[in-house]
Amino acid sequence: MVLLFYLILNGIILLFFIKKKKNLHILEIIAYWMVGSYIGENFSALCYMNFKTLHIPEILTHELSHFLSRNTIYPLVMVLFVDYYLTSSTWFKKSILTVVFVAILTSIEWVNHFLGVLIHVNWQFWWSPAIWFGGLASLLGFMKIFRILLFRGGEYK
């Protein structure tokens, strides 16, 4: 049942992403997806293997659900964040957007916890928004550098 929920959630987010008019070049989407996936993987691996603050139950459906969450949902949400961030014109809108997407990522993480897919052990709640804020800030830093390199010859239209 849990795996079905994650399959449906992945389908909804993928459909939304496919149908949405994007302001990103296809190379940007691929690069940001990979960086977002890398951030999600490192967060999961560090907290699971090194710090022992996360526990993934050894149930195949839960492991597959965690895999989908880590490799599809988090990176897609992060790419959507970058896409919306680029269209925001003022620092106030960008700040609100950042808060909303940190809340979305934190909510997904805690839905994982409540469904038993990713169990927090000795976890302070404020760590989740702090980690996702850091992840989004890292992605924005990568975006700035990547766009300089990508559009070196002029803007793509």
Residue 22: both structure tokens together: 């994007």
- What confidence tens digit (pLDDT) does each residue in 35-47 have? 999 998 888 888 8
Whether 157 maps to a domain, the answer reads no
Please report which confidence band the pLDDT of residue 154 belongs to, taking 50, 70 and 90 as the band edges: low
Whether 67 maps to a domain, the answer reads yes
- The three state secondary structure string of the chain is CHHHHHHHHHHHHHHHHHHCCCCCCHHHHHHHHHHHHHHHHHHHHHHHHHCCCEECCCCHHHHHHHHHHHHHHHHHHHHHHHHHHHHCCCHHHHHHHHHHHHHHHHHHHHHHHHCCCCEECCCCCCHHHHHHHHHHHHHHHHHHHHHHHHCCCCCCC
Whether 155 maps to a domain, the answer reads no
Whether 156 maps to a domain, the answer reads no
Whether 127 maps to a domain, the answer reads yes
- Give me the pLDDT at residue 156, please: 59
Work out the mean pLDDT of the chain and round it to a whole number. 92
- Give me the pLDDT at residue 51, please: 86
Residue 94: both structure tokens together: 């960008």
Whether 12 maps to a domain, the answer reads yes
Instruction: Specify whether the CB–CB gap between 69 and 118 falls below 8 A.
Output: yes
Whether 20 maps to a domain, the answer reads yes
Q: How far is CA 31 from CA 54, 64, 84, in A?
A: 27, 24, 16
Give the total number of structural domains in the chain: 1
Whether 109 maps to a domain, the answer reads yes
Rg (CA), the chain: 16
CA 156 and chain centroid, separation: 25
Residue 41 domain boundaries: 2-150
Q: 82 pLDDT exceeds 70?
A: yes
Q: What's this model's pTM, rounded to 2 decimal places?
A: 0.91
